[in-house]
Chain A
Amino acid sequence: MIALLIRDLRLAIRAGGGFGLGLAFFLLVAVIVPLGVGPEPATLAKIAPGILWVGALLSCLLSLDRIFALDFEDGSLDLLATSPVPMEGAVAVKALAHWLVTGLPLVLAAPVLGVLLNLPVQGYLWLVISLALGTPALSIIGAFGAALTVGLKRGGLLMSLLVLPLYMPTLIFGAEVVKRGAAGMAVGTPLALLAAITAGALALLPFAAAAAIRVNLR
């Protein structure tokens, strides 16, 4: 399974692997929004938590279909399914690789982009914490969506429609954490709910995704 993780990371970093795609998209959103909304610091500070979380969510969505589609096309997924690696483990590892390539860079870049959006100083810590807790859920939920649509040609639209509603709780609680943190309020409740969603998704979805892949490989 470590071999699978290393292979996926290596594939992502090599040419055409899509590393940096999500990060570049996130950066563009954060740069463009102030231009569109106007430069009033008060307005930007108000919308910054929401924009940063929406940007993170959409840039995660951007690279989801690669999780299984590439392996399906070149036949590796068939071979993985007949290998000693359990499919549940393969799903979890592939979601982890997706998070390391997409989610983790977002977490690290978010404070810098917070400056562009005039996020209040108290908010930075909570921005990083909420993204670090929430983006793993985005990756594993996305892996489930990708598993459901793995056999479909151009399944990206269907996958987005399936995955977006499942992303909403994470988005709502994630943005709420940052909003409250920036306003200097207590963040305990939304943070706990955000962590609960991530923990629940991590515990259940690898099994659901593996079952979906087995059906799609038939």
Chain B
Amino acid sequence: MTLLSVQDLAVARAGVPVLQGVGFALEPGRALVLRGPNGIGKTTLLRTVAGLQPPLAGHVEAAPDSVTYAAHSDGVKSTLTVAENLTFWAQVFGTDAVATAMARMNLRDLADRRAANLSAGQKRRLGLARLLVSGRAVWVMDEPTASLDVDSVQLFGAVVRDLLAAGGAALIATHIDLGLEAEVLDLTPFKARKVSQGGVRSAFDEAFT
């Protein structure tokens, strides 16, 4: 069974097509790393896969309620404590994995600290622990290792390996090696072409024909 399949996908950022013809499939236990220069459209692709924006063309198919998304920003509330932040997301996703998630991401000693007093790396660990409490099988992650130190990167690499071993899948935009056996997809060949060269027409273009 395929957890996530993407066919002939074209995505646009602010109405301008950035990628076209992207296709891949994620089987259980597989991870896919997206590479490409800045501005190629990695974040836009991930947001489309996560369902935050509609694709310009093509399909994203995922098992219902299986995808969880981790963005650049962690969605951490600075006036709540670490435990309160995680408990909120656990309740939203209907799981009770707060204690395990804190243990896995090495946050136990920080449980009662307000998120405002966390360092950037600790805050990121808290943001990633949210993936664990979501209890979902497909993790879509945008630069998850930003501001993490070497030890935390390894810690997170182990967490993702466990997800894959448990039959989950991961889609990661990153330039850092997480120590995973992952396929790498370079997005450079999928850069959107101009309409005159066979590119995808955006709604804006179509309005003027």
Binding site for B on A (CB under 8 A): 2-4, 7, 10-11, 14-17, 71, 73-76, 78-85, 217-218
Point out the residues of chain B lying under 8 angstroms from A71, CB to CB.
75
Query: Least Cβ distance of B127 to chain A in Å?
Result: 8
Task: Give per-residue flags for B31-70: 1 if the beta carbon is below 8 A from chain A beta carbons, else 0.
Answer: 0000000000000000100111110000000000101110
Q: Is the CB of B77 within 8 A of A3?
A: no
Q: Is the CB of A76 within 8 A of B75?
A: yes
Evaluate contact between A7 and B94: CB separation under 8 angstroms: no
Query: With an 8 A cutoff between CB atoms, is B24 at the interface?
Result: no
- B76 interfacial contact with A, CB 8 Å: yes
Contact residue among A10, A14, A217 (Cβ-Cβ distance under 8 Å from B52): A217
Q: Shortest beta-carbon distance, B155 to chain A, in Å? A: 21
Asked if residues B80 and A11 are in contact (CB atoms below 8 Å), the reply is yes
Take A74-B76, A81-B52, A84-B94 as given contacts and tell me if A7 and B69 are in contact as well, using a CB distance cutoff of 8 Å.
no
| Chain B residues close to A by CB (< 8 Å) | 47, 50-54, 65, 67-69, 71-80, 84, 87-89, 91-94, 130, 134
* Cβ contacts under 8 Å, A11 to chain B: 77, 79-80
A17 near B79: Cβ-Cβ < 8 Å = yes
Query: CA–CA, A71 to B54, complex, Å?
Result: 22
- CB-CB under 8 A for A16 and B79, given A75-B73, A79-B130, A84-B65: yes
**Once the chains bind, are B92 and A3 in contact (CB under 8 Å)?**
yes
What separation, in Å, do the CA atoms of A74 and B127 have in the docked complex? 11
* Interchain CB contact under 8 A, B75 and A74: yes
Q: How far is the CA of A73 from the CA of B92 in the complex (A)?
A: 20
A104 CB to closest chain B CB (Å) equals 21
* Chain B hits for A10, CB < 8 A: 80, 84
Across-interface contacts of B84 in A (CB, < 8 A): 7, 10
